[in-house]
Chains A and B, each alone.
Chain A
Amino acid sequence: MQINDLLNRTSEWLKGTGPNSEIVISSRIRLARNLDKIPFPHWAAKKQAEDVLQKIEQVKAEVSYLKNATVFRLADLDTVDKQFLVERHLMSLEQAQKKNSKAVIIDDDEVVSIMVNEEDHLRVQVMQSGLNLLEAWNIINQIDDRLAKELPFAFSSEWGYLTACPTNTGTGMRGSVMLHLPALVMTSQINRVLAAIAKLSFTTRGLYGEGTQASGNFFQISNQVSLGQSEEEILNNINGLIKQIIEQEEQAREAMLSREKAVLEDRVNRSFGILKSARIITSQETIELLSMVRLGVDIGMVKDIDLRIINELFIITQPAHLQKLENKKISSQERDIKRAEIIRSKLKI
């Protein structure tokens, strides 16, 4: 597989087919794993980091989920390629920034990806559409078991999996759910909800994980604690919390529909109108307007448009995706024009 092959595909998690996909975009689980006694990536010598990467390339064939996966070495990728992978949620911003023996392994349907030599030797990630942490766990657990047979993972029976940063020690697991909460934002209830989430030791982040701002009413919620609870317990807790947030968002949507239907209709249709007719549009404006249209699709106000198209638009209107589609580097003004063009063509009814 070449990076460009990804361009014409829709990632599995973007299909909008999973449970609760009217509010939940995707569920993601990542496991941090390290090889015993070899220095963690930030502290490893060049040769040691290279050895880790080669070991993983060797065992890849043993894992059934990775049979058709491709290894992309960061050193072989240009800036646009790297940003492209970040936009597709296949790799973190941190991984894109340095390149010594770093790699990302991506399977065909983009369900599984493994970052090699990021903060830890291995960061295995599984993504699913909608609220589906259990299925994600089912897959990642099998991959992890298989890898553990081939690789000597750093593990202590007292403290669990040993990671570069003690905030990941234990299960090494982070479960994240990406939510779309426009009604809670519009009714100014979101801060109350976010404050409650923080109290329960969960964290909220933006679309692109650590260090990114929430935008376009998207919020990524994940567990903070990784030690002292089993993986199932942690995931059950996230699941329970997310279900409550979904309920709150549903209530807020119903309240708006019954009390201010005209206002809501106006906002959704204006947003749709702009997207269908704009000739120049920034990525920030795109995200905000798409968020409104997505809400319109969810509550049946906008018909004949598939959630999948909307989900896809969020990704392909990002800067690196546009440049890949154009097959060359283009300035941000040119991108704004190209972006508007793609949106118009996708939203044609």
Chain B
Amino acid sequence: MNCDICGKNPATVHLTEIIDEQMNELHLCEECAHQKSAQMEQQFGLGDLLGGLASFEKPAMEKESAALKCPKCGLTYGDFKKIGRLGCSQCYVAFKKYLGPLLKKIHGSNIHFGKSPLKAVKVARKKVDLQELRNKLQKAIELEAFEEAAGIRDQIKQIEAKAAEGKDMKEEKNADQ
């Protein structure tokens, strides 16, 4: 098997990432893998390395993604790439597979921590996220996918740190009053 980037050298580095039950595989030669990771480290920082790789589209994938159409408003992913704007809220569902990595690339994260129209949802959501991530971590360790496991572990740490910070802030606010 040849490298997904240069197509010349044999692929010796294999990356697998699971996002929303979707498995993305990337096969790279040593040289391209090295370049790719150096590039991404510089641009996004280590934590985003996996997210960045997932958004790397193979030519075949690009064709497939461009034709993808939102059933609600008719905008295609190709349209979105051209105009830079989505058509409606349902586009986020239709293009989920591609938007997840893209959001991560833009914001360094693709999990919302802010307010919600229904406040109660927020607290419940964080708990679910953590549980999901812990399950994923367990699976990754069982499969000996250590690189992926490290990424998930960092994500969990981040969420936990944020939860602690949130508490501190609330306490501070109360102390102010």
Asked if B111 and A162 sit within 8 Å, CB to CB, the answer is no
Chain B count of residues within 8 A CB distance of the other chain: 33
A-B contact count (CB 8 A): 111
Instruction: Decide yes or no: A171 and B115 within 8 Å by CB, A43-B87, A159-B110, A166-B99 being known contacts.
Output: yes
Indicate if the CB atoms of A167 and B106 lie closer than 8 Å. yes
User: At the interface with chain B, which of A33-41, A256-264, A273-281?
Assistant: A33-41
A164 touches B86 (CB 8 A): yes
Binary contact track A240-267/B, C-beta < 8 Å → 1, others 0: 0000000000000000000000000000
- Which chain B residue shows the least CB distance to A34? B89
CA distance A229 to B72 in the complex (A): 29
Q: Which residue of A lies closest to B112 (CB)?
A: A160
A235 to B22 CA separation, bound complex (whole angstroms): 34
Question: How large, as a class, is the contact surface on chain A?
Answer: 35 or more
Tell me, rounded to whole Å, the shortest Cβ–Cβ distance linking B154 to chain A. 13
Residues in chain B near residue A158, CB distance under 8 A: 110-112, 125
Q: Report yes or no: A162 in contact with B112, Cβ–Cβ below 8 A.
A: no
Q: Closest residue to B122 on the A side, CB-wise? A: A157
- Give min CB distance, B114 to chain A, whole Å: 4
Interface string of B36-79 (1 = CB under 8 A from A): 00000000000000000000000000000000000011010000
CB of A92 closer than 8 Å to a CB of B: no
Nearest 3 CB-CB pairings of A with B: A228-B109, A160-B112, A154-B89
Q: Which B residues fall within an 8 A CB radius of A? A: 72-73, 75, 83-90, 92, 99, 102-103, 106-117, 121, 125, 162, 165-166, 169
28 contacts between A and B (CB under 8 A): A37-B72, A43-B75, A43-B85, A43-B87, A141-B115, A156-B92, A159-B99, A160-B112, A160-B116, A162-B86, A165-B84, A166-B99, A166-B103, A167-B106, A171-B115, A173-B114, A225-B107, A225-B108, A227-B106, A227-B109, A227-B111, A228-B109, A228-B113, A229-B114, A230-B115, A231-B115, A232-B166, A233-B162
